Amino acid sequence: MTDQSCQRYLEDPEANASHLDECADCRALAARLGEAVEHRPVVVDAGALPLASWEGAAHRSWPLVLGSALTVVAVALALCAATGMSPLRVMDASMGSMSALRALIRGGADALRGAPISGQVAFGVAVVLVNALLVVLLRRAPRGIDA
Ligand SMILES: [Zn+2]
């Protein structure tokens, strides 16, 4: 009809929808825009999608985690009581085994430093190969997901 009502319709199509009934130009324009932009809702079946790793973390059952930890502690205390050892003595002994482990590692490092250069190179290549294998295993997609 008038250019002014066309202007009002173009500025706010939803409030002035009745303008389409009286103006053929705007009706044609709206039809063309409607073809270009389909108002089709996106329907996603959430059950059909696999959980992302961060989504799965939200479903962790904290009562189960706490219950498992308490069970492990209870079993450890029961074993201490059954063997007649105090838990503090067991902790002290495990610290001792930690320092023994540290000494073992230091001995291995000294042996590597004393080894011929070919042995050191072979050790370095083995470290790279093992790490490459671990990276490949980490990057492999879980079953059921094509990536
Ligand atoms: Zn119009």
The predicted pLDDT at position 20 comes to 87
Confidence of residue 146 (pLDDT cuts 50, 70, 90): low
pLDDT of residue 122: 94
37 Cα to the center of ligand 1, angstroms: 20
pLDDT, residue 59, reads 65
Name 25's Cβ contacts closer than 8 Å, sequence gap at least 6. 6
Please give the pLDDT value at position 128: 97
Dump pLDDT digits (tens) for 90-145.
888 888 888 888 999 999 999 989 989 999 999 999 999 999 999 988 887 666 65
Say how many Å lie between the CA of residue 41 and the centre of ligand 1.
28
Q: Are 6 and 19 in contact (CB under 8 A)?
A: yes
Task: Give pLDDT tens digits for 16-71.
Answer: 888 888 999 988 888 888 766 665 666 777 677 777 766 666 666 888 889 999 99
Query: Ligand 1 center to residue 11 CA distance, Å?
Result: 11
Tokens of 112: 């590597």
Please give the helix or strand (H or E) that residue 145 lies within, else none: none
0.75 exceeded by the pTM? no
Distance 39 CA to ligand 1 centre (A): 22
Q: For residue 12, is pLDDT > 60? A: yes
Cβ atoms of 86 and 80 within 8 Å: the answer is: yes
Residues with CB under 5 A from ligand 1 (ion): 6, 23, 26
Please tell me the distance between residue 24's alpha carbon and the centre of ligand 1 in angstroms. Answer: 7
Determine the distance separating the centroid of ligand 1 and the alpha carbon of 107, expressed in angstroms. Answer: 89
